[in-house]
Amino acid sequence: MKGFITLALVIVSSLFSYISFAVEQAEEIFKQLAPSLYQIRLIDKASGEKSSIGSGFQISSNGIIATNYHVISGFANHPTKYRIEYLDHQGNKDELTLQSVDVINDLALVKRSTKVNMPFFKLTQQIPTKGQELFSLGNPHDLGMIVVPGTYNGLKKESFNDRIHFTGSVNSGMSGGPVVNIQNEVVGINVATSGNQIGFLVPHEKLVALYQSFKREPPGDIEQQMSEQLSQNQNKLINKLLNSQWESKQLENAIIPTIDVPYIRCWGDSNADKTDALFFAAVANCSLDENTYLSSTFFTGSIEMEFRYMQAKELSNNKFYRLYEQQIRRAGPNNKAGKEDVSEYKCHHDIVMPSNKEINNKSIFCTRGYKKFPQLFDVLFLSASIDKDKQALISHFTISGIEQSPALAFTRKFMESVAWK
Amino acid sequence: MEIIIEEISRDHKLISRHRINKDTIDIGRSYQNDIILPDPHICPDHLRLTFNGEHWLIEDQGSINGSYLEDGKTSVKHHIINSGDIFSVGKSLIRIVYTDHPIEETIRLSTFESLINIMRHPLVLTFSIVLFAFVSGYIFYLNKLTETTFSQFLAPAIGMTLIFAIWPAMVALASHFNKHEARIMAQLGISFVFFNLLWISDIIDNIINFNFSSNWPISDLYTLVPIGLAFCLFWLNSYIGFHMGARRRIIVAAGITVLFFGGSYLVQTTNKHEFSAWPNYNATIMTPSFMFLPSSDVDEFIFNSEKLFTKIKKVIAKEKKKEQEKSE
């Protein structure tokens, strides 16, 4: 019996020491890294107050600090309205200058002035393994710097641009903060959260790439840099989509295309449960799960395709078409954009039969241009079949931030892939 | 010597007309007068007209309120009457004309008159009102998302018909107040015929929008048709209800048309200045039986869509230029 108690004591005490070890570890990490951690704040020049906050961390001895693009996007869009400021662990404040951005991966490099060589975060050389313990650092809700332990859960499967799935709470204000492994090396940057302990990080290699290219040749003009990144990313994506297998799928009596890539995810719904509905409707909707943040009112990089099949139950043709017409009256963009970001839409409509002669559609193509990035457009396509009395197929897509020729190439392929069974 | 005395209203509309063949004529409120005027501001023996062999003379008989040549300051005394003179007596007006007074030329009955007569014929009128009600009910039925019974769309059909009957009723009322014949049946008849024509023009508009691509300006041109129809309706309304010159009638009809369509156009253009993040496209579709034109192919559609990019680039460049000028 005595031996048993001793055993229990040993187990309890070792458990204790494990917990205290974890706490000590976090404390140790924080102590070592605190001098290189910053709160990044955007100060509205007119009022002198901060308008948004985030976190940042130093990655070079000469004062280069990494953060999220969305933390400083206000400055990137309106350099005269704001200035960027840091607040270090000792409460010192000073101005920062914007050096380089990566809008696709939501990264930015800013610089503080320093006369001495300062401590900085090392970027890791190796990719973590699943289940490995990581520590996220940042300043959530302006409450002061904190450490959040969590685990690495690999890359998010459905993303076109890689994101690390981190199990641990990443809160607003921690954006731009580093996530380190037990060796205090940066493996990712806090970027987003889906709530409930699901956080997303930008992998460290994106930051490495941005920093390397910055060291080689700093960008001359941030807007130009953004413009190139947007074009390049969207061209890469559209090329991938156009060169991927477009599989024909059946939606009731219609043939619709699906693109076999993991980052385009599809959902479906129908009104089969509504017995009093005047027509049967089934919807398939496929979209890219990510988009690119340009400002709080301007998002781009989204892709969405939607197909809606309708069949009249006991309806006259005229009434069916009237209700059908109401379904296509209002189609809108699926990215947020304001007056200062985009022009208004211009549209073309016609009755079009694809070369397979399998369907006859009223097709509408609309596009609007980006004011800051004149080679980029948002496009919206809507097509409604008009060759069957009691059946209808609406095929629709929107793509934001795309160049003219890929937009038209995608439209062509899309139009040719829709048919009746 | 024969003379004609007309009692007229303040806006010179005829109330009664007397033709008298005497050389002395008495006018007043008492019953021994040749012309008895019931106006309490007129004296029992108010006025006397006499023919002196050459002229008619008018003389006030010392009445309390006097008799004046219209707008005249002093009461008439041995005044020589010219044909067409208007005198104010008490609060009434009388006009005196000789038998050889010139009259206006005869207005030929317009061909519209026979058309209007057809439209106000009870059978035709009933038919056009029933047709209108039927179409309103049918449109209500088409737009209803749930199953509808006959009685459900009877109410909106009748309601719509009554609402649209307000216009001809108001025109008839207005002409009645202007001392013209109300001619409510004629007003209803032509109004409902035109309302039905507007339905038809709507259907044609839909067929055009459905069939033609946005390359054709035809649907823009077609907006003139309902405007033209409305103008014709207003013209006929005023033709039936009011007697006025041809030019004035055109101006009045055009004025009402501008008021109707100009107002909605104004609202549209003021809304246009506000930025819209949503596209504005023509989504008209109709059943396959309404399709008359052959379809385009994908190449043609892509070619036409490509032009939009150039247009947008121009719009953005123009805006940039404007902004630069502003900042300078």
Q: What is the ipTM of this complex?
A: 0.86
Q: Count of CB atoms within 10 A of residue B181's CB?
A: 12
A362–B285: do the CB atoms touch at under 8 Å? yes
With an 8 Å Cβ cutoff, are B279 and A380 in contact?
yes
* Interface contact flag, A342 B277, Cβ < 8 Å: yes
**Which residue in A has a C-alpha nearest to residue B311's C-alpha?**
A346
For residue A291, the number of C-alpha atoms closer than 13 Å in the C-beta half-sphere is 22
Determine the number of helices (DSSP H) and then strands (DSSP E) in chain B: 9, 10
CA distance to A127, B34, B57, B75, B95, per residue, from B88 (Å): 111, 18, 16, 10, 9
Predicted pLDDT of residue B105: 82
For residues B113 and B102, give the distance between their C-alpha atoms in angstroms, rounded to a whole number. Answer: 27
The continuous run of DSSP H or E covering B302 comes out as helix B298-327
Quick one: residue A13, left, alpha or beta (phi over 0 = left, psi -120 to 50 = alpha)? alpha
Radius of gyration of chain B (CA): 32
pLDDT average, residue stretch B162-180: 91
Q: What residue type is assigned to position B24 of the chain?
A: T
Q: Which two tokens stand for residue B293?
A: 């034109």
Q: Do A268 and A277 meet the contact criterion of CB atoms below 8 Å apart?
A: no
Contact present, A310 and B285 (Cβ < 8 Å): no
Query: Do residues A29 and A2 lie in contact, with contact meaning Cβ atoms separated by under 8 Å?
Result: no
Of the listed ranges A213-217, B73-77, B283-287, the least confidently predicted one is: B73-77
Task: Check residue A21 and give its pLDDT.
Answer: 56
By Cβ distance, the residue of A319, A337, A374 closest to B142 is A319
Q: Which residues contact A238 (CB under 8 A, 6 or more apart)?
A: A399, A402, A406, A409, A410
Burial classification of residue B90, based on how many CB atoms lie within 10 Å of its CB (0-12 exposed, 13-18 middle, 19 or more buried): buried
DSSP A199-249: EEEEEHHHHHHHHHHHHH---S-HHHHHHHHHHHHHHHHHHHHHHS-EEEE
**CA of A412 vs chain B CAs: smallest distance (Å):** 7
Give the nearest partner residue to A321 out of B275, B279, B287, using CB atoms: B287
Place of tokens 């001495």: A116
Nearest CA to B96 among B163, B31, B49, B134? B49
Tell me which residue of A143, A204, A198 sits closest to A166, measured CA to CA.
Answer: A198
pLDDT band at B233 (very low <50, low <70, confident <90, very high): very high
Contact A325 B283 (CB under 8 A): yes
Predicted local confidence at residue B141, as pLDDT: 86
Residue among A365, A378, A381 with most chain B CBs within 10 A, to mutate: A365
CB A92 within 8 A of CB A103: no
The alpha carbon dihedral of B111, B116, B118, B124 has a sign of positive
Q: How far apart are the first and last CA of chain A?
A: 79
Q: Which residue has the higher pLDDT, A273 or B147?
A: A273
What does the alpha-carbon distance between residue A110 and residue A257 come to, in Å, rounded to a whole number?
44
Tokens of A179: 């996530």
Looking at residue B250, its pLDDT comes to 92
* Residuewise pLDDT in 10s, chain A (421 residues): 444 444 444 444 444 444 455 556 667 777 778 888 899 999 999 998 888 889 999 999 899 999 999 999 999 988 899 999 998 888 888 999 999 999 999 999 999 988 888 888 888 888 888 888 888 888 877 777 788 888 998 888 778 888 888 888 887 778 889 998 888 889 999 888 777 788 889 999 999 999 999 999 999 889 999 999 999 999 999 999 999 989 999 999 999 999 988 888 899 999 989 888 889 999 999 999 888 999 989 999 999 999 999 999 888 888 899 999 999 998 999 899 998 899 999 999 999 999 888 899 999 999 999 999 999 999 999 999 999 999 999 999 999 999 999 999 999 999 999 999 8
Residue A1 has what pLDDT?
44
* Dist CA A377 CA A404 (whole Å): 7
SS3 B271: helix
Enclosing H/E stretch for B317: helix B298-327
Instruction: Please state, rounded to an integer, the average pLDDT across all residues of chain B.
Output: 88
CA distances from A19 to A26, A168, A170 (A): 11, 17, 22
Closest to B295 measured CA to CA, from A413, A160, A360:
A360
Q: What is the pLDDT of residue A13?
A: 47
pLDDT of residue B14: 86
A407 min Cα distance to partner chain B (Å): 10
C-alpha A239/C-alpha B35 separation (Å) is: 102
The pLDDT of residue A6: 45
The size of the A-B interface in CB pairs under 8 A is 161
Which residue has tokens 């003139």? Answer: B224
More confident residue, B105 or A56: A56
